[in-house]
């Protein structure tokens, strides 16, 4: 009688372990999905940052071009006035202004050349980052769909097993079911284990000799005194196996 009760618990544990394995499989996939989405988002951020640097470059070039044009207009205007000046003092003052304007022009021209070179590098960088983002997007689209399909399949299997579990659990004595659930949660999902010789295969510790003898010859439902799991003799399982 006790063996029949134990078999029901074994069947229940078998289903519970299958459900646990499926849940562990399912846990891996959201992590991978999060990883590829994070990589896609990082590529998008990098592209946005590069586009921002390109916009800054264009803005700086326009400002320097405007400055250059203003200073060139000043130079033309002041050069035309040099011949009109009557005193050396006026001439020297205007010549100083002309020199400053020309140096400003030179600096602006150098900065425009530098920004133009940088602009081409930034554009190339944007093209590379756009390609990288496209590749990451493709991974999210293809692999992400595969992951969702796998998760849906795993969920379907779990639903089938949960119905099977309900049917098996209904055949287990309520008080035993309660003890089984408590032990299972405390012992990593294993509440029913065999004893090989005198060794409990749940905790790998020996049970008392008298208990080992009772386990083989008696009809009593026993638990390991060390880990408190339900135990049964391994030879009984071997005898029950088909030839």
Tokens matching residue 71: 């200073």
Residue-wise pLDDT for 52-107, tens only, equals 999 999 999 999 899 888 888 888 887 777 767 777 887 788 778 888 888 888 98
Burial class (CB in 10 A: 0-12, 13-18, 19+), 174: exposed
DSSP class of residue 191 equals: -
The two three-digit tokens of residue 222, written as one number: 């026993």
Residue 192 near residue 13 (C-beta atoms within 8 A): yes
The closest alpha carbon to 18, from 158, 153, 168, belongs to 158
If you average pLDDT over every residue of the chain, what do you get? 88
pLDDT per residue over 118-131, tens digit each?
A: 999 999 999 999 99
Q: What is the pLDDT of residue 99?
A: 85
What tens digit of pLDDT does each residue of 189-224 get?
999 999 998 999 999 999 999 999 988 887 788 999
Phi/psi of residue 117, nearest 5 degrees: -65, -40
Please answer whether residues 8 and 172 qualify as being in contact, where contact means their C-beta atoms are separated by less than 8 angstroms: yes
Cα(8)–Cα(174) distance, rounded to whole angstroms? 12
Q: Is the pLDDT of residue 6 over 50?
A: yes
| pLDDT confidence tier of residue 5, bands split at 50, 70 and 90 | confident
What does the pLDDT look like over 167-185, one tens digit per residue?
999 988 888 899 999 999 9
Domain positions in the chain: 19-169, 174-240
CATH 3.30.390.30 fits 19-169, yes or no: no
Q: How far apart are CA 23 and CA 11, in angstroms?
A: 19
């Amino acid at each position: 009688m006790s063996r029949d009760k134990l078999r029901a618990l074994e069947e229940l544990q078998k289903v519970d372990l299958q459900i646990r394995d499926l849940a562990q499989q399912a846990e891996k996939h959201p992590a991978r999905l999060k990883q590829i989405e994070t990589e896609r988002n990082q590529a998008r951020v990098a592209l946005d940052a590069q586009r921002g640097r390109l916009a800054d470059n264009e803005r700086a070039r326009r400002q320097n071009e405007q400055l250059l044009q203003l200073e060139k207009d000043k130079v033309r205007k002041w050069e035309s006035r040099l011949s009109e000046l009557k005193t050396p003092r006026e001439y020297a003052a205007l010549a100083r202004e002309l020199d400053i304007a020309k140096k400003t022009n030179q600096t602006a021209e150098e900065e425009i050349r530098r920004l133009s070179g940088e602009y081409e590098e930034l554009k190339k960088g944007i093209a590379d980052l756009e390609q990288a983002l496209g590749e990451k997007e493709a991974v999210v689209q293809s692999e992400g769909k595969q992951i969702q399909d796998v998760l849906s399949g795993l969920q379907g299997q779990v639903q089938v097993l949960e119905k099977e579990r309900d049917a098996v659990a209904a055949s287990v004595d309520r008080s035993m079911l309660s003890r089984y659930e408590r032990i299972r949660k405390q012992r990593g999902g294993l509440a029913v284990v065999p004893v090989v010789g005198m060794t409990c295969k749940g905790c790998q510790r020996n049970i008392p000799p008298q208990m080992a003898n009772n386990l083989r010859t008696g009809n009593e439902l026993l638990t390991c005194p060390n880990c408190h799991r339900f135990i049964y003799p391994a030879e009984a399982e071997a005898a029950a196996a088909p030839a």
